[in-house]
Structure 1
Amino acid sequence: MTLADARPEQTVTEQFSPATATIAIVTFNRSGLLSRLLESIERMDPKPGHVVIVDNASTDDTGDVVESFRERLGTQLVYRRMDTNTGGSGGFSEGMRVAYDLGSTWIWLMDDDVEVIPDGLAKMGKWAPRFRSIQGRRYDYDGSEFYWQYRIAEPLAIPIPFAPASFDASGFKEMNSGCFEGMFIHRDIVTEIGLPDPRFFIYWDDQMYGWLASRVTTSVIVDEFVLRRTREIRQWDMGIRHMNASSNAYRYYIMRNRAHIKRYYRSLGVYSPLLFGLGTALTFGKELIRLFFVERTVRGTSHLFRGLRDGRKIANDASWAPMPPLSAAAGR
């Protein structure tokens, strides 16, 4: 039986208790943004049982900022400072591990450049008895509705850019992706699919994790605004959609990490060389468009090619294996 065969259409779990939830935050050298997020958690009602902060070896005053909130946050704060910068992927993997080890029933993942709507946890908890992998909505920096590509074209392993943005009377839409800027996930799913893969470092890690979750449960995005982005990002306004500026590091990992996705697809028997290759070509083309029209430069293409080159090493690595289920890890 495959994971897809075991996937229930809908799951009813226990009633939601805010104290069983943990907010897991990943931060790196952005103490000002982190402070704003923690101030929003201070105003939350209800509050989660724990707040876990994973600090990716920041060199600013992040540690002091965290300690300044310990007594005033109104919930238990756990601070985990990494020895090195493990990227967003490593940070979220560690944050989820800490939250899981705390016994959390629900884990709410966040970057440091958002703030929580005061009743955000109550809004997410409203859906918790029904679903086990939930994504709320976000306001953008300017207060507009932030659109997130909640579905992927599975054979291509790329987001579907024009999936409908509106909701019907049900208040939710089924998704097969994920975003660590607000993913709300039940520990049973984490047990089954394991921790997020830290090898991605940045990019595609949350899409992959959300896709894995959608294979074992009904994953949804709900019509509830629960977060607000607090950092402005340069964008190209295409009318109905926007394309954000990027960086050379992102360009490299966008292409390199296609190889990790390929390995997961192969391990689950869903890999089509032709269609996946088309998805990689479309991704490359999108990054060229981002360079030319958002950042208005031709410099940076070398990082795309370097990512493809290093991805071939991952694709041919005989020691590569997917992240194990936590149930399997516990049994060893």
Structure 2
Amino acid sequence: MTDAHPAAPGPRRIVAAVVTFNRLTLLQGLVARLREIDGVAEIVVVDNASSDGTGAWLRGLEGTPGTPVVPRLLDENRGGAGGFREGLDVAVERGADLVWLMDDDGMPDPDCLEVLLAHDGELDFWGPAVVDEERGDRLVFPIRLPGTSTVVHDMAAVRAAATDGLIRDVVIPFNGVLVTRELVQKIGSVRAELFIWGDDHEYRLRAERAGARIATVVDAVVRHPSVGALGTPMLGGRMTYNHSPSDLKHYCMARNNLLNLREYRGTPHALAFVAKTVWFYLFTHRDPARLRLSFSAFAAALRGDFTGHRRFLA
């Protein structure tokens, strides 16, 4: 996919695919915004068995004026991975040329899609800068500049590093990213079995391996609630570790991260992650029980067992 592909003649059919779980107020705001944006043909909303009235609200939208909303109400929580697989598959089945993927807690600026579409035909998997909704000059998810060890946290640094308005080979999935139908047909859909944490990264890595043209469009913006500092400092602040108090999140992170590193970066990187985990839970944040949980997740990754996280679901 390294050769330039001309944009398809005529209007492109763009379907937004949103995944939601128990955040009805945020979802309502996002759907309202998406219905205001020209170019969105349909909005597929995948509800992960919410208990806050989301399903009833979505059913009530069917047949109302405006951009059609297509509910997909799952009978169980399949996590972000299962939700995005369903949303991506449904959008492609409904004839999307481009699928606009996003969580329920992001809010694209009114011109976000227009700015992204300026690069249709030259990119395969591309998305906006994701900024703090309270501080538009700060990234919610820092970007490591390609080919360097430099991590940027603010929009001024992002713009300074961009070439022709793009940071190539970097994208923050699935926060307002566009993916072409052709790429989905080439690499397949999201790995639903990963449940949460790392499913979006795996999809980007798979796209990269397939030669997809990937980029962040710095003038396209999605606003997102702050997630605070990402990673707990270790080794005197020389690196961080993705520690979470949630056993569910940690188990999926440890399992999926090991899987992704082994598959896409090789055994040395995977072993380095194991060593980092051991150090963190022995010395930085001593927690023998969490270390045991980590090794159960690592063993599951090596066995290809994606059922262990279910014991943490309510």
Are 1:114 and 2:106 counterparts?
Answer: yes
The counterpart of 1:223, out of the listed 215, 218, 225, is 218
The answer as to 2:83 corresponding to 1:84 is no
Corresponding letter in the other structure for 1:185: V
In structure 1, the residue corresponding to 2:107 is in which secondary structure?
Answer: strand
- Contact kept, 8 Å, 1:252 with 1:304, in 2: the verdict is no
Map of 1:182-331 to 2, 5 A cutoff? Answer: 182-215=176-209, 216-229=211-224, 231-235=225-229, 246-248=244-246, 249-262=248-261, 264-265=263-264, 271=266, 273-282=267-276, 302-303=289-290, 305-317=292-304
Query: How many residue pairs get matched?
Result: 292
SS in 2 for 1:137: strand
- Report the CA distance between 1:69 and its aligned residue: 3.9
Give yes or no for contact 1:173–1:222 (8 Å, CA) kept in 2.
yes
CA contact (8 A) 2:144 2:151 kept: no
Shift of 1:148: 3.3
- Counterpart of 1:38 in structure 2: which amino acid? V
* Matched residue SS, 1:92: helix
Q: Given that residues 137 and 224 in structure 1 are in contact (C-alpha distance below 8 angstroms), is that contact kept between their aligned partners in structure 2?
A: yes
In the superposition, relative to structure 1, how do residues 243 and 233 fare at CA in structure 2: closer, same or farther (>3 Å)? farther
State the partner residue of 2:20: 27
In structure 2, how many angstroms separate the alpha carbons of the residues matched to 1:255 and 1:52? 31
8 Å contact kept, 2:91–2:99: yes
Matches within 5 A, 1:121-132: 121-132=113-124
Give the distance between the partners of 2:29 and 2:286, measured in 1 at CA: 34
Tell me, in whole angstroms, the C-alpha distance in 2 between the residues paired with 1:243 and 1:147.
Answer: 17
Please give the TM-score of this superposition, normalised by the length of structure 1.
0.76
Indicate the SS of the match to 1:226.
Answer: strand
Q: 1:217 is matched by which residue type in structure 2?
A: A
Q: Cα offset for 1:50?
A: 1.0
Q: Could you tell me which of 150, 165, 176 is aligned with 1:171?
A: 165
TM alignment of 1:43-54, pairs within 5 A: 43-44=36-37, 46-54=38-46
**Matched AA of 2:111:** D
**Structure 2 residues not aligned, in runs of 5+:** 234-239, 307-314
The answer on whether the counterparts of 1:178 and 1:211 sit within 8 Å (CA) in structure 2 is: no
Question: 1:288: how far off?
Answer: 9.3
CA distance change for structure 1 residues 288 and 214 in 2, over 3 Å: closer, same or farther?
farther
Counterpart CA distance in 2 for 1:304 and 1:22 is 42
Task: With the length of structure 2 as denominator, give the TM-score of the two structures.
Answer: 0.79
Partner of 2:2: 8
Which amino acid in 1 is paired with 2:295?
L
Q: 1:36 offset after TM fit, Å?
A: 1.3
Secondary structure of the residue that 1:60 maps to in structure 2? coil
Unpaired runs of at least 5, structure 1: 1-6, 293-297, 320-332
Q: What do you get for the CA RMSD once the two structures are aligned?
A: 3.5
- Using CA pairs below 8 Å that are at least 6 residues apart, which structure has the higher relative contact order? 1
Task: State whether residues 170 and 216 of structure 2, in contact with CA within 8 Å, keep that contact through their aligned partners in structure 1.
Answer: no
Is the contact made by 2:282 and 2:288 (CA closer than 8 Å) also made in structure 1? yes
| Structure 2: distance between partners of 1:226 and 1:78 | 25
**Hey, what does 1:37 align to over in structure 2?**
30
CA 1:101–1:222 in structure 2 vs 1: closer, same or farther (change >3 Å)? Answer: same
Q: Distance between the aligned counterparts of 2:83 and 2:305, measured in 1?
A: 26
